[in-house]
Amino acid sequence: MSIDNTEKDVILIVDDTLSNLQMLFDFLEDAGFKVLVAEDGESAIEMAQYAPPDLILLDVFMPKMDGFETCHRLKTNQTTQDIPVIFLTASSEKVDKVKGLKLGAVDYITKPLEHEEVLARVNIHLHLRNLTKRLIQQNQRLEVEISERKQAEQKIREQAALLDITTDAILVQNLDNQIQFWNLGAEHLYGWKIQEALGKNANELLYRQETLSQLANIQISLVEKSSWQGELHQITKEGKAIIVASRWTLMRDEDGQPKSILIVNTDITEKKLLEAQFLRVQRLESIGTLASGIAHDLNNALTPMLLCVQLLEKKLLDQQSQEWLSILKTNIKRGANLIKQVLSFARGVEGDRTTVQVNKIISEIEHITKQTFPKAIEIRTHATTQNLWAIYANATQLHQVLMNLCVNARDAMPYGGIIEISAKNFWIDTHYARMNIEAKMGPYVVITVSDTGVGIRREIIDQVFEPFFTTKEVGKGTGLGLSTVIGIVRSYGGFIKVYSEVEKGTKFKVYLPAMLTTEVDSFQREHHELPIVGHGEFILVVDDEDFICEMTKSLLENYGYNVLVAKDGTEAIALYEQHQEKIHVVIIDMMMPSMDGSTTVRVLKTINPEVKIIGVSGLVLTSKMVKIFGNSVKTFLPKPYTSDELLKKLQFVLSSK
């Protein structure tokens, strides 16, 4: 009888009787086993440690070390303890068998040996041994699989935790738009709990009906590229509109068929709001820069015209000429005022500022509007019971701000409505300042003017402060009202927010810094009357505009002054060095090519620290010029100026020390 094994089982025979060894060796080899032999226990233990056999046939009675001791040592050794041991013995005593089994033997074969019995027992225990090995291997594989599964589950838990930690909204929807996964980020962004969102239709949950059209291109991109990314307008549980940067990925099954869609959304509502604010401010600044340049050129053109008219009034004394010149002068001044309004938008406004109580201003506006507005318009004021913080402002300009806003509100309600004016204290914190690029941390007084009128369309709401932009009919508005308002408010360091809904009304919120101190322009204060006729004093007029130089020269000479004219800073310096001793005052334009006014002033002060200078500009604000030049310039004259303004400034400088 033989066993067909690809790899032969190894059997170690341990017996001190050579004839027994030889007989078992031959028999077992013929049966298909690989056989090893040892004549004593020591040799058997050494061989088993070096090359562990699959089974040991161990004689009980041997010299030096008997089979029991050999078995004991084999079973206490980690390398050999699992090898099955079958005792071979001539004794049939039960006590010996029990002792051997207690030591770890698996069986007994009694001598004389029957080959069939030996073979049967050997095969049984080898089979059990192999089964045990396979079980151990299977257990080991199971342990590995269990460990790997635990690791996988742990990884899944960690990934799930990461998905919940992220602030992005992550969701999975099937091809029918039903939500299958919804992380904590989605909960925080949209307000829907996981149990509320799962199974719901994403299109119904996250989009208004009018915004569903934006999803059409997404489906096309998913079919063609398996992915899409872009911006989406969505809504939260409370109905709040938000904007998200969205990334869509088409997920497929093992066969490559579309299975679901993974969507990752990042809230960019604040970012888009700040971008819109930045672009609006940038556009207004660009318009302001353009307006400044135009205003400068127009003021240079109007100045000689106004001076010329005033000179002609002295020569053309007949009634008709005087009437025509009066019309001309009126329209020149009208043009100058129009330019001044544009400049108030572009560069802010000036005027003496004092501590102003907003409640008082609101009360005055309430009185005026109730007296002058149609009776179909109801005026409501809500003067807060708390003490409003004081602001430093020009009361007249603040009147202008509120009246312009109220007039706009009136015009938006041709059939009547309600205008409400209120004010409150408001502290701007770091978060609010971060979200509003024109705001700074600190105390503000917020004045709100709201109406129930026709409202402003969303697409033009950012344009309402631009000069000459108007929605009114031709002839009913210049488009400068709100640009003047924002110019005044910005000159105080404030800003304006507009909220409007078509057919429901508009709300303007004016934020003015509280307790804001500004330097009062001492040069703008009225002085007591001074004589305007000269006594031959030499005046140096510096301007790059030929007509301005010519008309200013003619005017001053008519009033008893001697005049030198320079077309730029370089020529002015040369003339001053030549006639320094007799030049009493230098009238200099602050904006000239080549060498500008500020450079020329510095050089003149180097030549003569006591030189008296009148600064002239069609653009730069007087207060800003004071801060730039300090005591280097005695006073400032804005273009276009009248002859009276020029002569009074000149006499003021001549009489000053």
3-state secondary structure of 276: helix
Count of Cβ atoms closer than 10 Å to residue 561 Cβ: 22
Please give the pLDDT value at position 312. Answer: 85
Sign of CA dihedral 145, 151, 154, 156: negative
The residue among 311, 325, 313, 322 whose CA lies nearest residue 553 is: 311
What does the pLDDT read at residue 653? Answer: 87
Q: What are the 10-residue block averages of pLDDT along the chain, 657 residues in total?
A: 61 88 88 90 90 90 88 90 88 71 85 85 88 85 82 64 69 89 87 89 87 81 86 88 89 85 86 69 60 67 79 83 82 70 53 77 86 89 72 81 88 90 85 76 89 84 65 50 79 86 90 60 40 82 87 88 90 90 90 82 88 79 54 76 85 82
pTM of the model: 0.40
What pLDDT does residue 159 have? 60
pLDDT (0 to 100) of residue 519: 34
Domain boundaries along the sequence of the chain = 10-137, 166-267, 274-347, 354-513, 523-655
Domain 274-347 bears CATH identifier 1.20.58: no
354-513 belongs to which homologous superfamily? Histidine kinase-like ATPase, C-terminal domain (3.30.565.10)
Amino acid at 86: I
**Per-residue model confidence as pLDDT tens digits over 617-654:** 776 555 555 555 556 677 778 878 888 888 888 888 88
pLDDT of residue 468: 54
Q: Does 10-137 match 274-347 in CATH topology?
A: no
Task: At 499, list the tokens.
Answer: 């909220």
Q: What per-residue confidence (pLDDT) applies to 304?
A: 79
DSSP code, position 548: H
Length of the chain counted residue by residue: 657
pLDDT given at position 296: 66
Highest CATH level, class, for 10-137: alpha beta
**Residue 362 three-state SS:** helix
Count of Cβ atoms closer than 10 Å to residue 649 Cβ: 22
DSSP of 584-603: EEEEEES--SSS-HHHHHHH
The token duo for 626 is 């004071």
Of 530, 493, 494, which is closest to residue 509 (Cα–Cα)?
A: 494
**pLDDT on residue 12:** 92
Q: For 59-75, write each residue's pLDDT tens digit.
A: 888 888 888 999 999 98
Query: In what order do the strands lie in the sheet containing 583-589?
Result: 562-566, 538-542, 583-589, 613-617, 635-638
Is CATH 3.40.640.10 correct for 166-267?
no
CB 447 within 8 A of CB 384: no
CATH of domain 523-655: 3.40.50.2300
How far apart CA 274 and CA 31 sit, in angstroms, is 91
3-state secondary structure of 181: strand
